[in-house]
């Protein structure tokens, strides 16, 4: 069963901490994405990557960075966590022109206190 | 600027009736549209899609209609079932941008007995 795996379902971090969210896919997809989901705002794109070592800013990249050293793994980094980064984070992967769009992970609920 | 909008945050429908979820977009360059369904504590899953060369696509109980002149799409679910209760996101993309999706804000559908 093909899937996208996010390493943590729930995380609680303190303000100012450096936070790593990990995502691994086993479908050999070229594209990987990080979104955050907030009530009333839907899914907003943080960063995406079309290939290993490549990254592109999405709509809300401020306060985040990413790393893609291997094709199957895409990490989201919160350099210095803040309370306004409390959110549901969703990782997804896709083929370049996949008709079904994305395959999503189950999400990581991050709370910054 | 929200390029994809779902103006109804929630919708309640009786079991067996039709559910109609609406989505509007502002960018006429979008040419591929998708609907995703999301249960709590799970990632969104692909439901149905439509290319801009079509105005209708059906898959079982689900039909998506596209009105390009109005920049409007809708998802019809007939008949609605309790298991359809979820948050529904519409999404849009430009062909040739490696399937980067722009999502709407979501509509929570509640199917009542």
Question: Tens of pLDDT along A8-64?
Answer: 999 999 999 999 999 999 989 999 999 999 988 999 999 999 889 899 999 999 999
d(Cα A50, Cα B56) in Å, to the nearest integer? 30
DSSP A22: -
For the cut 70, the answer to whether the pLDDT of residue A98 exceeds it is no
* Cβ–Cβ under 8 Å, residues A85 and A70: no
Mutation site, A34, A94, A101, interface B, largest B CB count within 10 A: A101
Q: What is the pLDDT of residue B100?
A: 82
The answer to whether A101 contacts B49, with C-beta atoms less than 8 Å apart, is: yes
The answer to whether A41 contacts B36, with C-beta atoms less than 8 Å apart, is: no
DSSP B9: S
Q: How confident is the model over B42-64, as a mean pLDDT?
A: 94
- What would the two tokens of residue B21 be? 């979820």
Q: Å from B17 to nearest chain A CA?
A: 26
Among A31, A45, A107, beta carbon nearest to B98: A31
Q: Å from B55 to nearest chain A CA?
A: 16
Neighbours of B34 (CB within 10 A): 24
* Cβ–Cβ under 8 Å, residues B35 and B75: yes
pLDDT digits (tens, 9 = 90+) for A71-84: 999 999 999 999 99
Nearest-CA neighbor of A41 among A23, A57, A56, A59?
A59
CA B94 from chain centre, in angstroms, equals: 17
* Cβ–Cβ under 8 Å, residues B78 and B61: yes
Helix (H) or strand (E) holding A43: strand A42-49
Q: Which residues of B touch A105 (CB under 8 A)?
A: 43
Neighbours of B113 (CB within 10 A): 6
Half-sphere exposure of B64 (CA within 13 A, CB side): 25
Q: What is the pLDDT of residue B2?
A: 78
d(Cα B89, Cα B104) in Å, to the nearest integer? 6
Mutation site, B8, B21, B43, interface A, largest A CB count within 10 A: B43
Is residue A95 very low, low, confident or very high in pLDDT (cuts 50, 70, 90)?
confident
Q: How confident is the model over B86-113, as a mean pLDDT?
A: 88
Q: Which residues of B touch A38 (CB under 8 A)?
A: none
Q: What is the pLDDT of residue A1?
A: 64
Q: Which residues of A touch B89 (CB under 8 A)?
A: 42-43
Q: What is the pLDDT of residue B80?
A: 98
Q: How confident is the model over A97-106, as a mean pLDDT?
A: 82
Closest-CA residue of chain B to A107: B43
d(Cα B78, Cα B60) in Å, to the nearest integer? 9
């Amino acid at each position: 069963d093909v899937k996208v795996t996010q390493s943590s379902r729930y995380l609680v971090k303190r303000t100012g901490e450096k936070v790593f969210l990990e995502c691994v896919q086993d479908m050999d997809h070229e594209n990987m994405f990080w979104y955050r989901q907030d009530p009333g705002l839907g899914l907003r794109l943080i960063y995406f990557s079309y290939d290993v070592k490549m990254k592109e800013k999405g709509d809300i990249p401020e306060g985040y960075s990413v790393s893609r050293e291997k094709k199957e793994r895409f990490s989201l980094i919160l350099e210095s966590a803040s309370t306004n980064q409390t959110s549901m984070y969703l990782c997804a992967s896709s083929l370049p022109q996949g008709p079904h769009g994305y395959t999503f992970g189950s999400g990581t609920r991050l709370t910054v206190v | 600027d929200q390029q994809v909008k779902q103006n109804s945050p929630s919708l309640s429908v009786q079991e067996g009736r039709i559910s109609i979820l609406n989505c509007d977009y502002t960018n006429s360059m979008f040419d591929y549209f998708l609907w995703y369904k999301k249960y709590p504590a799970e990632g969104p899953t692909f439901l149905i899609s439509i290319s801009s060369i079509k105005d209708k696509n059906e898959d079982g109980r689900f039909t998506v209609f596209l009105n390009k002149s109005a920049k409007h799409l809708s998802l019809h679910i007939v008949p609605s079932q309790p298991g359809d209760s979820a948050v529904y996101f519409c999404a849009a993309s430009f062909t040739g941008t490696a399937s980067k999706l722009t999502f709407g804000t979501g509509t929570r559908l509640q199917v009542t007995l």
